[in-house]
Amino acid sequence: MTYEQARAAYADWGVDTEAALRTLATIPISMHCWQGDDVKGFEAATGTSGGGIQATGNHPGRARTPDELRADLEFAYAMIPGRHRLNLHACYLDSDERPDRDAIEFRHFAPWVEWAQGQGVKLDFNPTFFAHEKADDNLTLAHPDKGIRDFWIEHGRRCREIADAMGAAQSGECVNNIWVPDGSKDNPVDRIGARRRLEASLDAMLDGPRDNVLDAVECKLFGIGVEAMTVGSHEFYMGYAIRKGTALCLDMGHFHPTENVADKVSAVALSVQDILLHVSRPMRWDSDHVILLDDSIRAMAQELVFGDLLGRVRIGLDFFDATISRTAAWVIGTRNMQKALLEALLMPRDRLVAAEEALDFTTRLMLTEELKSLPAAAVWAEFCAREERPVGAELVQSLSGYQSTVAARG
Ligand SMILES: C[C@H](O)[C@H](O)[C@@H](O)C(=O)CO
Ligand SMILES: [Mn+2]
């Protein structure tokens, strides 16, 4: 089907495909650096990764240096329509120096900032509270040892400083997302003590304004090794974000599998101004499979569009799979998020809402089901053509071709 035919088919339902394409082109997605190297980073790290962060697989082609990671990112962005962001973790510093986490500075990230400016890519940032010997107890900001807490508070403070400088350099907000692995394998007896320590540490870390930073806090239900309690649970961070005015990060892999994370967005949006998404796909014990164009992602995109929340929700991705081409994973996942957004933008919202308000649930169901057969793929292909990005066999060939150029990496 041609784009013109698709445009006419949507027009019959009262949908303007041109308006949908214009909106889609303005939605940035923050691609996570850690898909490119299995969350290893570029420090001489000594600790284990707690809280369930575990990339499995040994597909050839892992980026081993910042230059390799940047080359992979450049390729990935060239396969993805639109202008996007890069979400950088503190352990991805690019420097000949080897500062510990409590000694990192903006200059250790200067090559990233320079590269991002050259690429027209804006940066987001994350302190790294894992893969370090001082995190091996699966406790950081909530650790009973004040010395360890202070070490991580200092790390967090410095990360805000770095994110602020990144924001200033790019003349726009840098999201600084905080996730800590803190928790307990077996039933703790002093849950509130741990939560008081986490809160006090966060307060110390986030003290003082940072004009170019949007701080976000990310909860998790459980991780491997912290099955009995995660200190930073949903209720903990929801309360914290409301009381302290931070953004709330909802990671789609961090809830019970029967929960609908899309449903949470509108509920949270009434109490929290800014929301960060980590779009992900949980599967059994893992929270980080590459996202598919599946119902959970479609539901999330619909919530953002129907709830008119695109201006308040930053879309980030969080998955890592080392069993497949890492660059292909980025491209597939990011494009899937965009496809879901496009499908949502192509829905006749007013008509659906009218049916719902009239309690005409039959019409609502007929509409949503019939709409699934409309030619969204032709509209997506048009978007890619306008943005000079490949689709179909050409995309597959490009992804495979790039993978073969990196496969020899040791
Ligand atoms: C690497 C990230 O910080 C991490 O994935 C975090 O966002 C998370 O989701 C932990 O499960
Ligand atoms: Mn996450």
pLDDT tens across 105-143, in order?
A: 999 999 999 999 999 999 999 999 999 999 999 999 999
- Quick check: 49 pLDDT over 80? no
Ligand in nearest proximity to the CA of 35? 1
- Quick check: 53 pLDDT over 90? no
CA gap 256, 249 in Å, rounded:
16
What pLDDT was estimated at residue 268? 98
Mean pLDDT for the stretch of residues 34-45: 92
CA gap 99, 141 in Å, rounded:
20
pLDDT tens across 203-255, in order?
A: 999 999 999 999 999 999 999 999 999 999 999 999 999 999 999 999 999 99
The CA-atom distances, in angstroms, between 135 and each of 64, 98, 233, 257, 348 are: 23, 18, 18, 27, 49
Shortest CA distance to 404 belongs to which of 290, 337, 340, 327? 327
pLDDT tens across 335-393, in order?
A: 999 999 999 999 999 999 999 999 999 999 999 999 999 999 999 999 999 999 999 99
- Quick check: 48 pLDDT over 80? no
- Higher pLDDT: 315 or 53? It is 315
> How open is the CA angle 313-178-216, to the nearest 5 degrees?
30
Name the binding residues for Mn(2+): 254, 286, 288
Residue 286 Cβ inside 6 Å of ligand 1? The answer reads no
Q: What are phi and psi of 228, to 5 degrees?
A: -80, -35
CA gap 402, 406 in Å, rounded:
7
Q: What is the CATH number of domain 27-343?
A: 3.20.20.150
pTM over 0.90: yes
What pLDDT was estimated at residue 346? 98
What pLDDT was estimated at residue 54? 81
Mean pLDDT for the stretch of residues 51-68: 90
Kindly report the number of other CB atoms within 10 A of residue 39's CB atom.
22
Q: Where are the domains positioned within the chain?
A: 27-343
ipTM of this complex = 0.99
Average pLDDT, the chain: 96
pLDDT tens across 137-191, in order?
A: 999 999 999 999 999 999 999 999 999 999 999 999 999 999 999 999 999 999 9
Residue 221 DSSP class = S
What pLDDT was estimated at residue 45? 62
**CA atoms within a 13 Å half-sphere pointing along the CA-CB vector of 59:** 22
Shortest CA distance to 80 belongs to which of 360, 348, 391? 391
CA gap 101, 308 in Å, rounded:
39
Atom of ligand 1 nearest to the CA of 287: 11
The distance of Cα 224 from the centroid of its chain, to the nearest Å, equals 20
Residue 310 CA, ligand 2 centroid: distance in Å = 19
Shortest CA distance to 70 belongs to which of 395, 406, 408? 406
- Higher pLDDT: 264 or 47? It is 264
CA-CA-CA-CA torsion sign (309, 310, 314, 317): positive
**CA atoms within a 13 Å half-sphere pointing along the CA-CB vector of 298:** 9
CA gap 200, 149 in Å, rounded:
10
Contact between residue 283 and residue 2 where contact means Cβ atoms under 8 Å apart: no
CA gap 121, 407 in Å, rounded:
26
- Quick check: 410 pLDDT over 80? no
pLDDT tens across 279-299, in order?
A: 999 999 889 999 999 999 999
Mean pLDDT for the stretch of residues 71-96: 98
Residue 290 CA, ligand 2 centroid: distance in Å = 13
Residue 128 CA, ligand 2 centroid: distance in Å = 12
CA gap 221, 223 in Å, rounded:
7
What pLDDT was estimated at residue 107? 98
Closest protein CA for atom 5 of ligand 1: 318
- Annotated catalytic residues are 179, 218, 220, 251, 254, 278, 286, 288, 318
Atom of ligand 1 nearest to the CA of 181: 10
